Chain A
Amino acid sequence: MAALEIHNVRKEFGNERVLKDVSISIDSGEFLILVGPSGCGKSTLMNAIAGLEPVTSGNIYIDGEDVTWRTPAERDIAMVFQSYALYPSMTVRQNISFGLEMRKVPKAERVAAVERVADLLQIFPLLERKPAQLSGGQRQRVAMGRALAREPKVYLFDEPLSNLDAKLRVDMRTEIKKLHQRLGTTIVYVTHDQVEAMTLADCIAVMRDGHILQLGSPDEVYNNPVDMFVAGFMGSPSMNFIRATLEAAGDGYALRIATPDEDNVLLPWPSERNAAGLVEQLNKPIILGLRPEHFSEEDVRLSEQAEGTLMEAKVSVVEPTGADILLRLPLGEQEITARVGPKCAIAPGERLSLRVDMARAVLFDAETEKRLA
């Protein structure tokens, strides 16, 4: 049975439609991430699940029960807020046990719950402190502790890591993942950070303008994006969108990338990836999507076995990140980013042979921005 089911939910503020027929269903123990740019409706959807904002139409089911018109307290959910929302006048202990106290849990059980949570999150030394005496990371832990104390059916996380510094964010991300693996809880997590989405989720819902564009596993969303928005949003540096023309080449197709001053680049399209819709696009402009890691520098020693197509371009900028090097290469009127190994010795202005992994390339319609193949 689905732990959380959202069925055709709409939300309107006056004439503005913030959520347009959103439907999601996740199983018990799944980690769902709502991701999208600001203003896409992900926080509104979160608030609708929590019951903090009534929906205009549609239904929300938790554990099979219709909770659409229940108050937040009756829904048996817990939430971790972006600002942590700790009660400033209470100690950490009181913060954690407040929800239990309001639900009239006996004192002994409350104490036990605080101990359990403090042990889980290693916040024993903080229990008697006030939130103002805690650092950002500690507050974050306490906020999670408060949610974990009650063992509700669904946990909601509203951009919980966005106020932490970069290093702490990575640590807490791992910790949240560990907690989820250990406790097997159902989590809905809102973020605008695609790295968080990729690393944590069992299931990602990419949202834009109140729609869910794609709902799928991180692998699906990353490697099989439904349109250019999803493809561009997931992944960093983001996918290269290269304007090209689809041409017939032998039995199959090839992509011609116009480069004014030099010979055009011609990339053959792997025949096993031919899709039905491609015929109609013949000799029309098309968008070729290639992620930076789909390029690799040509290694002469391996060139015999290596797969993929060769392409030559001049390097304009070299950005070493340590683990690898990002290259910017002008290609026709656009600039592409390629991710190559850290050992690649190349200086700006030099020409470089790049191997393109066309098997993982994607094609988009230039007008509708929808996926073609």
Chain B
Amino acid sequence: MSESTTRTAVRPTASGWLQAWLPRLVLAPSIAVSLFFVYGFMLWTFVLSLTSSRMLPSYDFVGFGQYSRLMANERWWVASTNLMLFGTLFIVICLVIGVLLAMLLDQKIRQEGALRTIYLYPMALSFIVTGVVWKWLLNPQLGIQAMVQGWGFESFRFDWIVDSDMAIYTLVIAAVWQASGFVMALFLAGLRGVDDSIVKAAQLDGASLPRIYWRVVMPCLRPVVFSAVMILAHIAIKSFDLVVALTGGGPGYATDLPATFMYTHAFNRAQIGLGSASAMLMLGGVLAILIPYLYSELRSRKHG
């Protein structure tokens, strides 16, 4: 039996060759394209970050000079601090709201499908749309402040978007509005995966509903929390369109994030070298999150 299979493998036929190579041929273009445009450009960005490129790429190498310029740049530090603040608040609030919504939706309520879709819908919008809508809502002359003042509460103030200390929180509001429904969907799927009889057993054991969730159900959802944090962290680091649409990085550069910093310097302010250096640091940030995640994923798959 094995003899006959080796014999057919030794004698190549045209159709056999095609069968063996067709998958590779079909996949080759997309692999080549992604190699070139993703990894090739990553490499090019790294090369540029080592040069003194300004308006146009040049290959006048200055070592890590651009990185030290970046470290000395106050605006970069504002952007980085903003990312920390924005990222932390965004992830934490999204998780809390998502978990709560998922638990409430899991109570065998009527019209759950419709409600689920409503909560999930913001995720279907682009961040640009979210940004524009919230820009209007938060605009003191047009939005919430104007409306409440129109009701007669003249002293009501909600002008965070024009306050350089508070503007970063408007980003958090809009981003949470957009992503918490998605987190809810993740957790709802996780909750549905929890064996129903575990909850029944806990009920019989005399645990109250909050306790059942906290002590019994949530520990089962640890992998979901992990995935949610991963996904939200990526969204936070990559946040660019939301900032552009909502605040434009302003007032001043109070709501700059690394992504907008990079764009501004590389394409608006003719500082390609500095922009590339900041892009590489962002890549480092993403990898710092991604590598442990991939490592644990692959390890658990090997074990499981």
Contact = CB atoms under 8 A, between A and B. Distances in A.
Interface of A: 50, 52, 71-73, 77-79, 81-83, 85-90, 98-99, 102-103, 146, 150
Give the most central of B203, B205, B207, B211: most A CB within 10 Å.
Answer: B205
Interface stretch (B57-65, B133-141, B153-161, B192-200): B192-200
A73 B203 contact: yes
Interface string B212-233: 0001100110100000000000
Given A72-B203, A79-B200, A81-B200, A102 B219 contact: no
B206 A102 contact: yes
Contacts of A98: 202, 205, 207, 215
Nearest to A150: B205
B204 interface: yes
A106 to B, nearest CB: 15
Contact of B220 (A77, A89, A99, A150): A89
A98 B205 CA distance: 7
25 contacts: A52-B204, A71-B203, A79-B200, A79-B201, A81-B200, A81-B201, A85-B195, A85-B197, A85-B200, A85-B201, A86-B198, A87-B201, A87-B202, A87-B215, A87-B216, A88-B198, A88-B219, A88-B220, A90-B219, A98-B205, A98-B207, A102-B205, A102-B207, A102-B211, A150-B205
B206 A83 contact: no
Nearest to B199: A85
A99 B216 CA distance: 12
A86 B205 CA distance: 12
A150 B206 CA distance: 11
A85 B197 CA distance: 5
A50 B220 contact: no
A52 B198 CA distance: 12
Nearest to A104: B206
Interface in B175-197: 195, 197
B204 A78 contact: yes
A40 to B, nearest CB: 20
A373 B198 CA distance: 48
A52 B203 contact: yes
B206 A87 contact: no
A82 B195 CA distance: 11
Give the most central of A79, A102, A103: most B CB within 10 Å.
Answer: A102
A79 B219 CA distance: 22
B219 A89 contact: yes
Contacts of A79: 200-201, 204
Contact of B204 (A72, A82, A90): A72
Contacts of A90: 219
A52 B220 CA distance: 22
A87 B198 contact: yes
A50 B195 contact: no
Contacts of B200: 50, 52, 72, 79, 81, 85
Contacts of A72: 200, 203-204
A258 to B, nearest CB: 52
Contacts of A87: 198, 201-202, 215-216, 219
A159 to B, nearest CB: 11
B204 A77 contact: yes
A81 B197 contact: yes
A52 B199 CA distance: 10
Contacts of A103: 206
B198 A82 contact: no
Contacts of B215: 87, 98
Given A73-B203, A98-B205, A83 B197 contact: yes
A99 B197 contact: no
A117 B195 CA distance: 25
Give the most central of A71, A79, A85: most B CB within 10 Å.
Answer: A85
A181 B117 CA distance: 55
A204 to B, nearest CB: 24
Contacts of B216: 87, 89
Contacts of A52: 200, 203-204
Contacts of A86: 198, 201
Contacts of A102: 205-207, 211
Given A85-B195, A89-B219, A73 B201 contact: no
B205 A73 contact: yes
Nearest to A88: B220
B85 to A, nearest CB: 32
A150 B195 CA distance: 23
Contacts of A146: 201, 205
Nearest to B220: A88
Contact of A82 (B197, B220, B222): B197
B304 to A, nearest CB: 11
Contacts of A71: 203
Instruction: Identify the 9 closest CB pairs spanning chains A and B, nearest first.
Output: A89-B219, A99-B205, A85-B197, A73-B206, A85-B201, A102-B206, A81-B197, A102-B207, A72-B203
A102 B203 CA distance: 10
Nearest to A77: B204
Interface string B20-58: 000000000000000000000000000000000000000
B117 to A, nearest CB: 25
A133 B13 CA distance: 51
B303 to A, nearest CB: 12
Contacts of B219: 87-90
B132 to A, nearest CB: 44
